[in-house]
Each structure stands twice: as C-alpha cells, then as structure tokens.
Amino acid sequence: MIIATIQNSILNAEQIVALDGKVLSGDERQECLSKFVKDTFDVEIEDDKEDCFFINDNQLFCYMYHPQNDEIDRRRRAMILFDKNTSEKECEKTIEIMGLVLENFNVLKEKVLPKIAEKGNKSNWLVKLLKSVVEILGKFFKRGK
C-alpha cells in the first residue's frame, strides 16, 4: 500500500490523494485521507527539506517537493506513506501519477531501506555462523567415536 497526497496547484481546489497508483475522489478519497492523517498525525516535518523515515516497524513516511509550484508560485510538498514491502511498481505508478520525480523519491527511499538489507545480512551472518559451529561440532564428535 502506498498513499500520496499533495496540495492542488489550483488555489482553493481540494487536496490530491492517490492510493496504489490511482487518484481518488469522493468518499474513497476522504477515507484514504483520513487513514493517512491518522497514521501520520505525530510526524514532524522540517521546513525546506525532503526526507524519508520509518514511522513504525512497517511503514515509511516520505516528504518531497513537487516540481510544479501552485498558481501563486508556492512550493507544493507531497507526503507519501507506504509499507516497507510495497512493490517498486506500485511506488512508481503512484509517484508518477502525482507528477513527482521518481528518481528523487528513490534517492530518499534508498537512504532508509538499505537498513532492512543490513538487518537481513546480519541475520544471514548469524545463520552461517551457527551452521559452521554445528558442522565443526559434528566433525569433532565423529572423531571421538
């Protein structure tokens, strides 16, 4: 799941909300926006910065600027909430439908997601170590017979 939201470029128009690569409207839009606000209520955003980070064990929050300013030339900040297991395809569809720069999103996301790979590498290292210990102990006990 990936939700993205951004201020509309047209003054006084409603917030743009996308879910899994599709721009929403009506009740579906409002329900999705309510979920987004509920999940991100305590998130703090720094001015004039773009960032991506975990807000819990499973969800990441990114914020970045849209390349197009609004009608009175203000920068528009997109906010993106997604699960760590959201497919690259779903992310790409959502980022592109919102008019954001996919490369910028990927740079922000990759600053955080390698930490998951590192955790996996540590687990793999521990498994390999334990297998080696068991193998050595097995050889040791075979000699003793």
Averaged pLDDT, 72-79: 95
Range of the domain at 136: 113-145
Q: Do 95 and 35 share a structural domain?
A: yes
Total domains in the fold of the chain: 2
| Token pair for 82 | 């997604």
Q: Give the pLDDT of residue 126.
A: 63
Q: Do 119 and 86 share a structural domain?
A: no
Q: Give the pLDDT of residue 63.
A: 97
Q: Do 71 and 19 share a structural domain?
A: yes
Q: Give the pLDDT of residue 6.
A: 96
Q: Do 120 and 85 share a structural domain?
A: no
Distance, CA of 21 to CA of 93 (rounded, Å): 5
What one-character DSSP code corresponds to residue 46?
A: -
pTM (whole model) above 0.85: no
Q: Do 108 and 62 share a structural domain?
A: yes
Q: Do 79 and 137 share a structural domain?
A: no
Averaged pLDDT, 109-133: 65
Q: Give the pLDDT of residue 46.
A: 93
Q: Do 91 and 49 share a structural domain?
A: yes
Q: Give the pLDDT of residue 68.
A: 95
